[in-house]
Structure 1
Amino acid sequence: MSYADVNGINLYYEIQGSGRPLILLHGGLGSGEMFGASLAAFTAGYQVILPDLQGHGRTADIDRPLDIATMADDVAALIDHLGLDKPDVVGFSLGGGVGLHLAIRHPEKIGKLVSASAGIRRGATYPEILEQQGQVTGAAAEFMKETPMYELYQRVAPRPEDFPRLLDKIGEAMQKDFDLTDEVRGLRVPTLVMGADADMVPPSHFVEIFNLLDGGLRDGGWTGEGRPKGGHALAIVPGTTHYDIIDSPLFATLALAFLAKRD
Structure 2
Amino acid sequence: MRNFLIIFSLFFYGLNLQAQKPTEINYGDNPKAGNYFNNRGFKMYYEVYGSGEPLLIIHGNGGSIKDFSNQIPYFSKNYKVILADSRAQGKSLDPNDSLSYEMMTDDFNGLLEHLNIKSCYVIGWSDGGINGLLLAIRHPDKVKKLAVTGANLTPDESAVDPFIYKWAKSLNDSINKLPITPEIKKDRKLLHLLSYEPHISKEDLQKIQCPVLVIGGDHDVIRTEHTMLIANSIPKSYLWILPNSGHSTPIVYKDLFNETVNDFFVKPYRKIEGLDRLR
- The two structures have a TM-score, normalised by structure 1, of 0.80
Question: Gapped runs of 5+ residues in structure 2?
Answer: 1-33, 176-180, 270-279
2:166 aligned residue (124, 131, 144): 131
Using the TM superposition, name which of 173-182 and 66-75 deviates more: 173-182
Tell me if the contact between 1:192 and 1:233 (Cα under 8 Å) persists in the aligned partners: yes
The code of the aligned residue for 1:69 comes to E
1:147-158 alignment, distance < 5 Å: none
The code of the aligned residue for 2:107 comes to D
Kindly state the Cα deviation for residue 165 of structure 1 after the two structures are TM-superposed: 2.3
Which residue number corresponds to residue 3 of structure 1?
A: 36
1:1-263 alignment, distance < 5 Å: 1-123=34-156, 124-137=159-172, 162-176=182-196, 178-214=199-235, 230=236, 232-242=237-247, 244-247=248-251, 248-249=253-254, 250-262=256-268
| Alignment root-mean-square deviation, CA | 1.8
Q: Deviations over 1:99-136 (max 9, x none)?
A: 11111100012211111100112231121111111133
Aligned residues: 226
In 2 relative to 1, CA 138–5 (structure 1 residues): closer, same or farther, beyond 3 Å? farther
Whole-angstrom distance in 1 between the partners of 2:260 and 2:127: 19
Q: Deviations over 1:153-178 (max 9, x none)?
A: xxxxxxxx843322111122223252
Tell me if the contact between 2:132 and 2:146 (Cα under 8 Å) persists in the aligned partners: yes
Tell me if the contact between 2:146 and 2:212 (Cα under 8 Å) persists in the aligned partners: yes
In 2 relative to 1, CA 239–127 (structure 1 residues): closer, same or farther, beyond 3 Å? same
Kindly state the Cα deviation for residue 190 of structure 1 after the two structures are TM-superposed: 1.5
Kindly state the Cα deviation for residue 138 of structure 1 after the two structures are TM-superposed: 9.7
SS of the equivalent of 1:111 reads: strand
In 2 relative to 1, CA 20–138 (structure 1 residues): closer, same or farther, beyond 3 Å? farther
SS of the equivalent of 2:196 reads: coil
Kindly state the Cα deviation for residue 137 of structure 1 after the two structures are TM-superposed: 4.3
Question: Gapped runs of 5+ residues in structure 1?
Answer: 141-160, 215-229
Identity %: 30
Tell me if the contact between 2:172 and 2:195 (Cα under 8 Å) persists in the aligned partners: no
